[in-house]
Amino acid sequence: MELLLGIFAFVLGFAARRGQTCAVLAVHELLEKRRWDRSWSFILCAAWAAVVALPLAWWHEGARLAPALPVTGASLLGGILFGVGAAVNGACTFGSLNRIVSGQASYGFVLPGIALGAYASTLLVGRWAPAGAGNPMAEPHRWSLLAWAVA
């Protein structure tokens, strides 16, 4: 199992470095250069993930998709803070990790920031975030099959 995880980690790292996946750069490219290349890459990645993950979750009895969570004050606050951090940093999480592994140590503060944000979210979960409902894509029905076919 460790060998398989190591191979996946290598492939992920290689793909991240080659693809230069960064949502901040994608938005910048879209707004400044009017080019959809990076944004289109995110859309394609999400579609391929759905094409692979949904049938696996449908066919395997023990598999469960993550619960669908409602938009709450906590999720809005988290999204705003993440966006501000990405704008200040000049890169999203993927872009920051790419820069860390390429030797730009100043991006190393991203990792403690993520850990601090995750810890802070655990303090708010009981008060601001209601329990998640089931995932509407968890079972194959006409809408989930349509979404899968479109992806």
Per-state percent for the chain, helix, strand, coil, to nearest 5:
75, 0, 25
Higher-confidence residue: 87 or 148? 87
Residues shown for the chain: 151
List the one residue out of 45, 54, 72 whose CA is nearest residue 130. Answer: 72
Sign of the alpha-carbon dihedral angle for 88, 93, 99, 100: positive
Task: Report the share of the chain in percent with pLDDT over 90.
Answer: 1
Place of tokens 């250069």: 33
Quote the CA–CA distance of 127 and 142 in Å, as a whole number.
Answer: 35
What does the pLDDT read at residue 33?
Answer: 92
Q: Is pTM beyond 0.75 here?
A: no
pLDDT digits (tens, 9 = 90+) for 118-150: 888 777 665 555 555 666 676 777 777 777 677
Place of tokens 């949502």: 23
The predicted model gives 88-110 an average pLDDT of: 82
Which pairs with CB-CB distance under 8 Å and at least 24 residues apart come from 8-17? 13/101, 16/94, 16/97, 16/98, 17/98, 17/101, 17/102
Higher-confidence residue: 14 or 115? 115
What does the pLDDT read at residue 147?
Answer: 73
What does the pLDDT read at residue 20?
Answer: 65
pLDDT digits (tens, 9 = 90+) for 23-71: 788 888 888 899 988 888 888 888 888 888 888 888 887 777 777 777 7
List the one residue out of 17, 12, 29 whose CA is nearest residue 100. Answer: 17
